[in-house]
Structure 1
Amino acid sequence: MESKPHNDRLWIKLLVLLAYKTATHKHARRLSWNTQPGGVIFISPRLCIKSTPFTRLAEANAMRFISEHTTIPVPKVHCAFDEKGQTYILMERIEGETLARVWSQRSVESKARILRQLKAFVEELRSIMAPSRVGVANVDGGPIFDHRLPRKSTWGPFATIQDFHRELRSGIHAGDIQDDASSPGVKGMASFHEQAWQSPVFTHGDLSALNILVRGDEVVGIVDWETAGWYPPYWEYTSAKHTNPQNLWWQDEVDKFVAPMPEALEMETIRRRFFGDF
């Protein structure tokens, strides 16, 4: 299904485009506006614009979906639209610091309080009932997006989790593998993929410490929902474990707020080794 724009009235679009053009002008550094990692531009104390080659309308719709169905703090989306092949999202600017920046200075008690909140948020995500007949797809039932996946960034949508897995391993079936000596673990990985699966769960897909905002001991924002959608039950865990090679310390924390799935992690490690970096 095609993702729809949100609140794309002409005058709002014109203001967003003007603000974006002004902020990205070569002399924009003279202004108080500034560009943040991930292509987010702060245009006021309360507003920001996201527009990158990877930005899709489904990201805006995922934030709206989460806001409607959970208590997870996400930026409020004011406007989202496509213009000349590029997507623009005008949204709330959440005041806070990334966990990646402040985690090492936190006390044990502070870390525990934050991790408890994250665990509750992940449980909320996993409790959302999937629509009937959805396999692996974005929030609108369309293609998922993840530039870390092998060969391409846009995948699907897939009618079943098994179809998604088959695409990830280039169509190879467990029965096609006769000799495991040259590719240890691949046959077991394919068998793991081909099993019967429960319904998909809604997944952020990039729970890096860079995408979690805090003020004090309160989690005030989960951002960067571009990879969000309906995925296999293990995907949140394995994605979070591998999300940011620069923050390897975060891997040890993931088990404290996402239920560990060691078999799935092993299978994903094998898949990444033989079929792609992620």
Structure 2
Amino acid sequence: MAYIPPLDNTETQHEGTAHLAIHNTFLRRSLTLLALKTTARFFKYDGPCARISKNLIVKTSPSVHLTEATTMEFVAANTSIPVPHVYCSFVHRNRAYIVMERISGQPFPEALKTLSDADREDIFTQLRSMIQQLRKLEPPPGTGVESCTGGSLRDPRNPRARPRFGPFKKVQDFHLWLRDGVQIKEHPEVANVHMTDQDWRDLREMAAKQDGAWSNLTFTHGDLNPFNIMIRGNQVVSIIDWESAGWYPFYWEYTSAWCGNITRKWWQDRVIKFLDPYPDELKMEITRQKWWGEV
């Protein structure tokens, strides 16, 4: 069943997700909520993540979803990719909480200051090996663009995700959603903005490719920006922030990493060190984002 965005972004987000909770006991819920009111005050918040002890953090916000915890368990069970261990997850008063391991390490950009050129290349080699493990995962028969549980997805950069979207049984349906349902053959203008002849040619080329035949769905992190790669010494000790992960078209990892880092040109130039490039699909995505831009 497709996800229907709630009017207030939270109203129905967690309906039908009770089966996704992990180690959801009264004691664990109570201790987590108590820690957020007590020990968390001694630590600095990091976005939606609150540290409650030396080794534990709680991720919670109106947009956090139980799917993220289930995804980390899925990746841990099916690959050797280091991900935070999940201790429990639950919904309390229409808000999701994920209690997980706090990773000891530095985000890649901070670690760069002390890494040698050889260390950096070794890290990219480690990342390529990890991504190849994701690429080897086989989607179950009938899988479309969806989470590892067959449910909705999250992409905080996309303004049409309110706060989730999908799932889609066909890649073409996903592509149509990405361009807000616009049928290019029927609309010579998008959002009443005048287009040049080149714009129109680019849009028709984009739509033809999006609406064509697709195969090779791959399991995708969806937000491989350098701050989601944790380093200790010269080792990748964890890949974090799996909120956008799921089964996507084969190009999505590359174009998301590239387009999602337009302010980090140095990272754009390096993603091909661990991701296979797809220049035609990148051109398609650049055209789409010009007219249906993500934030």
User: What corresponds to 2:97 in structure 1?
Assistant: 88
8 Å CA contact 1:137, 1:143 repeated in 2: yes
8 Å CA contact 2:22, 2:89 repeated in 1: yes
Q: 1:104 to 1:192 in 2, by over 3 A?
A: farther
Quote how far apart the aligned CAs of 1:198 are: 1.1
Quote how far apart the aligned CAs of 1:138 are: 1.2
User: What corresponds to 2:234 in structure 1?
Assistant: 217
User: What corresponds to 1:159 in structure 2?
Assistant: 169
User: What corresponds to 1:123 in structure 2?
Assistant: 132
Q: Does 1:67 align with 2:76?
A: yes
User: What corresponds to 1:147 in structure 2?
Assistant: 156
User: What corresponds to 1:114 in structure 2?
Assistant: 123
User: What corresponds to 2:9 in structure 1?
Assistant: none
Amino acid at match of 2:33: L
Amino acid at match of 1:212: I
User: What corresponds to 2:111 in structure 1?
Assistant: 102
User: What corresponds to 1:10 in structure 2?
Assistant: 26
Moved more, 60-69 or 99-108: 99-108
- TM-score normalised over the length of structure 1: 0.92
Amino acid at match of 1:10: F
| Distance in 1 (alpha carbons) for counterparts of 2:292 and 2:206 | 11
Amino acid at match of 2:178: L
Q: Does 1:138 align with 2:147?
A: yes
In the alignment, which of 261, 265, 286 is matched to residue 248 of structure 1? 265
8 Å CA contact 1:80, 1:90 repeated in 2: yes
8 Å CA contact 2:24, 2:90 repeated in 1: yes
User: What corresponds to 1:169 in structure 2?
Assistant: 179
- TM-score normalised over the length of structure 2: 0.87
User: What corresponds to 1:34 in structure 2?
Assistant: 44
User: What corresponds to 2:65 in structure 1?
Assistant: 56
Per-residue CA shift, 1:128-171, capped at 9, x if unaligned? 00111111111211111112113333111101111100111122
Quote how far apart the aligned CAs of 1:195 are: 1.5
Q: 1:180 to 1:143 in 2, by over 3 A?
A: farther
Amino acid at match of 1:165: H
Per-residue CA shift, 1:235-263, capped at 9, x if unaligned? 00011112234433111110110001111
| Distance in 1 (alpha carbons) for counterparts of 2:39 and 2:204 | 51
Unaligned runs of 5+ in 1: none
Moved more, 164-173 or 222-231: 164-173
Identity of aligned residues (%): 39
Moved more, 116-125 or 151-160: 151-160
| Distance in 2 (alpha carbons) for counterparts of 1:258 and 1:167 | 25
Quote how far apart the aligned CAs of 1:21 are: 2.4
8 Å CA contact 1:180, 1:187 repeated in 2: no
Report the number of matched residues: 271
Quote how far apart the aligned CAs of 1:53 are: 2.0
User: What corresponds to 1:21 in structure 2?
Assistant: 37
Could you say what the CA RMSD is over the residues aligned between the two structures, in angstroms? 1.8
- Match of 2:169, SS state, is coil
- Match of 1:255, SS state, is helix
Quote how far apart the aligned CAs of 1:180 are: 7.1
User: What corresponds to 2:53 in structure 1?
Assistant: 44
8 Å CA contact 2:115, 2:234 repeated in 1: no
